[in-house]
């Protein structure tokens, strides 16, 4: 029998101690493969898709890296930052406020419980956050909530850990991800990352998420990048 996953409070506690690491645009997501590349791809895709947009929502914003990268292309956005960690949220607000002439607001809490409203945002960013969703009902509820919060023509951009539907492929990709982590630091780092993924995360396949985006109503879906167990992709309402 598999062990129970970490609670929201336990996940929040781990991230409270990671603020400094996540405050670096180049190394903030060091456990994610191709993080600097996906930062740039998402920023360019979002700004190109919604060049006249005014309002961005960053779900699980961490220290604000994805919004900061987007603001390099669209510096006048109004920004809403959402995160479980108060320390992350404070750092993100500080950094983002210095990078935009627009309004910056914050919401502390779990995306599963927060009210986002209807047709408020031109761009929604969700980096390394949806893998914390548990059963299919949660995934559907959150994707639906996000869809409803996006203005017609607006877009959602996701960068996240994914699983693979074919067990043999999952084994191959997981082995290759382990090799990446060991090369990046060492085997102990690999084991630590694998341990907190096992405790905290319940990723779904790229195919599952694309299908769910269509079910929720997104009209156009685009895959920006995939490497091993990570993918960056987006959808337009």
- Domains in the chain, CATH or no CATH each: 8-236 (3.40.50.150)
Per-residue pLDDT of the chain (237 residues), as tens digits, is 456 766 766 656 565 556 555 545 554 567 889 999 999 999 999 999 999 999 999 999 999 999 999 999 999 899 999 999 999 899 999 999 999 999 999 999 999 999 999 999 999 999 999 999 999 999 999 999 999 999 999 999 999 999 999 999 999 999 999 999 999 999 999 999 999 899 989 999 999 999 999 999 999 999 999 999 999 999 999
Separation CA 156–CA 179 (nearest Å): 31
Q: How far is CA 185 from CA 54, 67, 68, 192, 199, in A?
A: 40, 27, 27, 11, 21
Strands 78-83 and 104-108, how do they pair?
A: parallel
pTM above 0.85, yes or no: yes
- Which residue in this structure is represented by tokens 């590349």? 37
């Amino acid at each position: 029998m598999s062990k129970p996953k970490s609670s929201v409070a336990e996940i929040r506690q781990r991230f409270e101690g990671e603020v400094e690491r996540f405050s670096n645009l180049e190394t903030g997501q060091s456990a994610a493969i191709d993080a600097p590349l996906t930062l740039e791809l998402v920023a360019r895709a979002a700004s190109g898709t919604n060049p006249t947009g005014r309002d961005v929502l960053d779900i699980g914003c961490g220290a604000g890296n994805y919004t900061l990268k987007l603001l390099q292309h669209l510096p006048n956005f109004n920004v809403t930052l959402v995160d479980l960690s108060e320390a992350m949220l404070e750092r993100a607000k500080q950094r983002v406020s210095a990078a935009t002439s627009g309004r910056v607001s914050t919401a502390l809490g779990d995306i599963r419980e927060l009210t986002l409203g209807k047709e408020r945002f031109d761009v929604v960013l969700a980096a390394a956050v949806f893998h914390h969703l548990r059963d299919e009902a949660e995934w559907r509820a959150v994707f639906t909530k996000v869809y409803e919060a996006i203005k017609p023509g607006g877009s959602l951009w996701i960068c996240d850990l994914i699983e693979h539907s074919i067990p043999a492929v999952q084994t191959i990709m997981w082995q290759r991800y382990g090799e990446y982590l060991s090369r990046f630091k060492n085997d102990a780092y690999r084991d630590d990352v694998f341990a907190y993924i096992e405790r905290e995360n319940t990723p779904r396949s790229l195919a599952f998420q694309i299908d769910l985006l269509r079910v929720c109503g997104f009209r156009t879906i685009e895959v920006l990048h995939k490497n091993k167990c990570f993918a960056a992709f987006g959808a337009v309402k």
